[in-house]
Structure 1
Amino acid sequence: MAAQGKGPGGKQPTINDVAALAGVSKKTVSRVINRSEFLTEKTRRAVEQAIEQLGFVPNPQARALAFRRNFLIALLHDNPNAQTVLNFQQGVLDAIKDSDLALLVRPVDRGSDKMLDDVRVFLEKQRPIGAMLLPPISENDDLAALCESLGVRYVRVGSALLDDARHCVSSNDREVVAEAVRGLIARGHRRIGFVRGPAGFRSAAEREKGFMEALAEAGLELPDAYHARGNYRYASGIEAGEALLALASPPTAIFCSNDEMAAGVMGIAHGKGIAVPGQLSIIGFDDSPTATHIWPALTTVRWPIREMGSRAARTLVPDFLGSGAKVASDESPVLPSILVERQSVAAAPADA
């Protein structure tokens, strides 16, 4: 029997040595290494014991050649919110931490006429097993078709269903925003302002639809002066707050399409001596660290972006993560967001 960490003749052990020791074929060893589900537990255990006894380490280059892919999964994004990208990455890393996979992150320019060409070159050069597409580029059907044509698995992430369950992970932004606004209305608010997200983002559109649905249910309207366009950045929240809180009859509550903009609105309110939540209630979206780093702590919608990252990886490469990572056929591709109530919301002022 070969000594641990050495093959015959004292050389580094090979896949052939593992096969001989386990009494199986080289192909069976390869299947165990690549976590194939089509093996008996007895065979898997015998190969794993042989690998451990010999100290065999699979050659990543050889595996890549066999698969004609590198052991990489790619994250493609053009997102102005760095925290969103970071949280999604963490979810992906949670899912692949015990695998041989590595995460490759690639920012792209959705406004460029060459975006598809650039992505094609990137995918052909890096040869990832699959790609995860963050919004708003996940909403680009041509990008999904490009992945398909190159034989690259893909998952589209969004605030609404963008594809079938094999290619999609989403949240329920529209429904949860409507719930949040209904809560403001139940507290007596009638002058409710809205800070939109950037044009061209499905998340911004879905959150606006939820906002408008809740107003319509209550027989309320959104005057032109009561909404402002933002871009998911803090500075745009400052601009929106300046505009909305300078009105002769300013809103008593403002829903912001993300936490960064909500923090900007809150900063303007403090600067104008407007008490939050006594005179102005504010709700954000994301439940980012910003929500608890400002005062008062922000009532917000917790977007399950880290969980979406984990689900996206599990959906994309279940065969590389082991049987426990497989997404069940009855698991919905929609991960629910939830409203987190903190200190930035109160009843409408008595004189409103």
Structure 2
Amino acid sequence: MKSTGQPTINDVARIAGVSKKTVSRVINRSPLLNQATREKVEAVIAELAYVPNPQARALALRRNFLLGLIHDNPNAQMVLNFQEGVLDAIQGTEFALVVRPVDRHSPSLFDDIRKFIEQQRLYGVMILPPLSENDALAALFRELGCNYVRMGSAPLDDAAHLVQSNDRQAVRDAVAYLVAQGHTRIGLVQGPDGFRSAAERELGWHDAMEAAGLPHGPDLMARGNYTFETGREAGGKLIDAAEPPSAIFASNDVMAAGVLHAARGRGLDVPQDLSIVGFDDTAIATAIWPPLTTVRWPIRTMARSAALKLIDPEAASGEQSLFPTDFIARASVAPR
């Protein structure tokens, strides 16, 4: 089988008996193809010695093979885990990841994001909470013709533009576990104001406490900002209360580690004097002692799915949008 001149993607498609889009998917190593089709196309590519020209393709598409990640999130581990999931999806493809931190309170936020998208000529963009919860921002992406996927803790968009977790139900189940262990005063370290994830997790705590007929007033709540230091301060406030809780749910693992630090600083034993539960199941959950009981948030899996939805929306139409969490019981909880 020989070709005349420089082989093109049309030559590959014709000889392999597939569409140009299928060839493109093979080139981009999309995992959404069956193995037989992939091997057939790869054999033709090898025989023709076809070499894709990413610059020419980018020029034709008027876009670069760049996926953007836009965030304003104080939880550095969460951002890192999301990046790793995207890199899982684009490994071996022509795509690259560009990360853009922003200040969601900046008066020039929309202008800055518009300039970023236009200058980089992004293939698509992923948005982390709380930015992802801004409907006006999603409207900006549509205006610019830039495909996007939002990450959230509740339904924010249609399935093609969303990866979502079930935070409220997950926290309800986690607090119910503490109730089953005999705890009747369960404190809450809230996440930051303006985060839908923080609101959903707080609602889950309220749901579980109300269902159990247990008190869930302001005296059992303290505000944090998804950071270790605010977790330590909020945990100390709850522990020092006139009627301290025997268990505390912290809205992420980093704050839960801060609560543990506050308890140890006051001579308390965890879990005998105080049980602690976190959320995320990041690396810190198993790095501290005792290992943290937590809710595993499938950030990396969600990120991989978000990237696939951008790389090949048609092929990824069957990709799931709702990603259930898992409860992980470890040694930071003991019966009351």
Q: TM-score, normalised by structure 1?
A: 0.86
Give ranges in structure 1 of 5+ residues lacking alignment: none
Query: What are the residue-to-residue correspondences of 1:231-242 with 2, within 5 Å?
Result: 231-242=225-236
Does 1:34 pair with 2:28? no
- Residue in 1 aligned with 2:308? 314
> 1:99 maps to what in 2?
93
The whole-number CA distance in structure 2 between the counterparts of 1:228 and 1:24 is 64
2:190 is the counterpart of 1:200: no
**Aligned counterparts, 1:114-125, within 5 A:** 114-125=108-119
Instruction: Report deviation, 1:317.
Output: 2.2
Distance 1:336 1:42 in 2: 32
CA contact (8 A) 2:7 2:49 kept: no
SS at match of 1:34: helix
Instruction: For residue 160 of structure 1, report the CA deviation from its aligned partner.
Output: 0.7
Question: By how many angstroms is 1:224 displaced?
Answer: 2.2
Amino acid at match of 1:34: S
- Seen in structure 2, the aligned counterparts of structure 1 residues 54 and 208 have a Cα distance that, compared at 3 Å, is same
- Write the distance in 1 (CA, Å) between the matches of 2:247 and 2:22: 58
Moved more, 213-222 or 293-302: 213-222
Counterpart selection for 1:90 from 75, 84, 106: 84
- For 1:114 and 1:146, the matched residues in 2 are separated by 14
C-alpha separation between the residues in 1 aligned to 2:181 and 2:14?
A: 69
Matched, 1:15 2:7: yes
Larger radius of gyration: 1
Asked if 1:225 is matched to 2:219, the reply is yes
Change (3 A) 1:42 1:186: closer
Letter in 2 for 1:98: G
Distance 1:30 1:246, change over 3 A: same
Which piece of structure 1 moves more, 274-283 or 241-250?
241-250
Distance 1:327 1:97, change over 3 A: farther
Q: Quick one: distance in 2 between partners of 1:338 and 1:137?
A: 25
Residue 145 of structure 2: which of 140, 151, 175 is its match?
151
Residue 284 in structure 1 maps to residue 275 in structure 2: no
Q: Which residue pairs with 2:50 in the alignment?
A: 56
C-alpha separation between the residues in 2 aligned to 1:73 and 1:90?
A: 13
The one-character-per-residue Cα deviations of 1:210-230 (angstroms, maximum 9, x if unpaired) are 000111111222232221100
Q: Secondary structure at the match of 2:279?
A: strand
3-state SS in 1 of match to 2:104: coil
Q: Find the counterpart in structure 2 of residue 130 from structure 1.
A: 124
- The match for 2:326 among 338, 343, 346 is 338
Residue pair 2:246, 2:274 contacting (<8 A) in 1 also: yes
- Quote the offset at 1:191 in angstroms: 1.1
| 1:67 pairs with 2:55 | no
SS across alignment from 1:211: helix
Cα pair 2:85 2:300 within 8 Å, conserved: yes
Aligned-CA RMSD value: 2.6
Match of 1:164 in 2: 158
Query: Which letter does structure 2 place at the counterpart of 1:61?
Result: Q
How many correspondences in the alignment? 328
Query: In 2, Cα distance between the equivalents of 1:154 and 1:337?
Result: 23
Write the letter of the residue equivalent to 2:303: G
Aligned to 1:183: 177
8 Å Cα contact 1:35/1:319 also seen in 2:
no
Give the secondary structure class of the aligned counterpart of 1:124.
helix
8 A Cα contact 1:19 1:47, kept in partner: no
Deviations 1:167-221 (A, max 9, x none): 1110000001000111111111111111000000000000000000111111222
Q: What is the letter of the counterpart of residue 342 of structure 1? A: R
| Counterpart residue identity of residue 228, structure 2 | Y
Unaligned runs of 5+ residues in structure 2 are none
Cα deviation code 1:72-94 (max 9, x no counterpart)? 11111111111101111111111
Could you say if the C-alpha distance between residues 55 and 276 of structure 1 is closer, same or farther in structure 2, counting changes exceeding 3 Å? same
- Residue 7 of structure 2 aligns with an amino acid whose one-letter code is I
**One-letter amino acid of the structure 2 residue matched with residue 197 of structure 1:** G
Alpha-carbon distance, 1:104 to partner: 1.2
Of residues 229, 237, 244, the one that matches 1:243 is 237
Q: Distance in 1 between matches of 2:254 and 2:36?
A: 54
Q: Name the stretch that deviates more: 294-303 or 243-252.
A: 243-252
What is the alpha-carbon distance in structure 1 between the residues aligned to residue 205 and residue 245 of structure 2? Answer: 15
**Residues 42 and 221 of structure 1: is their aligned pair in 2 closer, same or farther, counting only changes over 3 Å?**
closer
Amino acid across the alignment from 2:275: S
In 1, the alpha carbon distance for the partners of 2:36 and 2:171 equals 51
Task: Give the secondary-structure state (helix, strand or coil) at the position aligned to 1:74.
Answer: strand
Q: Which is further off, 108-117 or 91-100?
A: 91-100
Q: Percent of aligned pairs with the same residue?
A: 54
Q: Quote the Cα distance in structure 1 between the aligned partners of 2:13 and 2:167.
A: 54
Shift of 1:99: 2.2
- For the Cα contact (< 8 Å) 2:69–2:98, is it kept in 1? yes
